[in-house]
Structure 1
């Protein structure tokens, strides 16, 4: 699984002109599920993101986690994170998981965030979404569960 994690002042996702997910301070997570990913990958990324120390403390150092600051997560499925642009001009998505498997692991990831005590909002899987992100810092990280060792 791959995730783009952005620290935000606020974020929202709209589907068919209706806001379906919205957060204030926290993290927007764009999550891609790849072929061969498992529940272990979802658990790893959810736990890692829950505990990332990327919020500033009293000394201005990135030393606090989402849990420390009482922030929320906006999790959005993003199969295009598996787009391979090495050949030609059109990305290939053959490394992305099939929709049914991806949905199951995306939902598992979201559920694990909730189990970790985080307020979590989501987009709508397999829908066209308009995502509004007010990046804070900016702080943007790339995580890949296959690079966990």
Structure 2
């Protein structure tokens, strides 16, 4: 699994002009699933994300985790994270997991985050979504459960 993580002051996702998820301060996660991802990949990422020390403390240093800041998560499925642009001009998405497999693992990942005490808002899996965010920092990280 791959996650592009962005620290955010506020964020929302809309489908057909209707907001399906929104948060104030916290993290926006763009989540991609590939064919060989498992429950262990989802668990590793959930644990890593909630404990990453990427929020500022009183002295302005990135020393606090999402849990310590009582932040929320906006999680958005993003199969294009597995787009291969090596050949030609059109990305190849063969490395992205199929819809059913990806949705099951994406939902499991979100549930694992919730079980850690985090409020998780989402988009709509497989829908065309509009994501808006105010990136805080900016802080943007890429996490890959296979690396």
Q: Same fold (TM over 0.5)?
A: yes
Deviation, structure 1 residue 59: 1.1
Pairing of 1:39-50 with structure 2 (within 5 A): 39-50=39-50
| CA–CA distance in structure 2, aligned partners of residues 60 and 50 of structure 1 | 19
Asked if residue 132 in structure 1 is aligned to residue 118 in structure 2, the reply is: no
| CA–CA distance in structure 2, aligned partners of residues 75 and 52 of structure 1 | 16
Give me the CA root mean square deviation. Answer: 0.4
**Which segments of 5 or more consecutive residues in structure 2 lack a partner in the other structure?**
none
Q: How many residues align?
A: 147
Deviation, structure 1 residue 7: 0.1
SS at the partner of 2:109?
Answer: helix
Pairing of 1:110-129 with structure 2 (within 5 A): 110-129=110-129
Partner of 2:30: 30
- Superposition misfits of 4+ residues, deviation over 4 angstroms: none
Pairing of 1:1-149 with structure 2 (within 5 A): 1-147=1-147
When normalised by structure 2's length, the TM-score is 0.99
| CA–CA distance in structure 2, aligned partners of residues 42 and 123 of structure 1 | 18
